[in-house]
Amino acid sequence: MTVQNVQQWFESSLGQYLIEHEQCYFDQVVANIFGYNAVQIGWPQFNFLRLNRMPFHFSVGLETGASLRAAPGFLPIQSNSVDLVILPHTLEFNANPHQILREVHRILIPEGHVVISGFNPFSLWGVCHYLRSTRREFPWNGQFIALSRLKDWLKLLDFEMAGGRLCCYTPPFKQEKWRKRLSFMEAAGDRWWPISGGVYFLHAIKHMHGMRIIKPDWKNCLNARKKMVPVAQRVNEASLEEKSAEKLNQTDESRR
Average pLDDT, the chain: 85
Q: Which CATH class is domain 3-206?
A: alpha beta
Beta strands 56-61; 82-88: pairing state: unpaired
Quote the pLDDT of residue 47: 96
Contact partners, residue 227, CB within 8 Å, separation at least 6: none
Domain range summary for the chain, segments of one domain joined by +: 3-206, 215-256
* Residue 251, pLDDT above cutoff 70: no
Q: What digits encode the pLDDT tens for the residues 180-231?
A: 887 777 777 777 777 889 999 999 999 987 655 555 665 666 666 666 555 4
Quote the pLDDT of residue 179: 84
Nearest by Cα to 113 from 205, 17, 11: 205
Please state whether the predicted TM-score (pTM) of the whole model is above 0.85.
no
- Radius of gyration of the CA atoms of the chain, in A: 30
* Residue 164, pLDDT above cutoff 80: yes
Tell me the C-alpha to C-alpha distance, in Å, between residue 136 and each of 14, 128, 206. Answer: 17, 10, 35
Quote the pLDDT of residue 76: 96
Q: What digits encode the pLDDT tens for the residues 56-85?
A: 999 999 998 999 999 999 999 999 999 999
Q: What digits encode the pLDDT tens for the residues 105-149?
A: 999 999 999 999 999 999 989 988 888 667 788 999 999 999 999
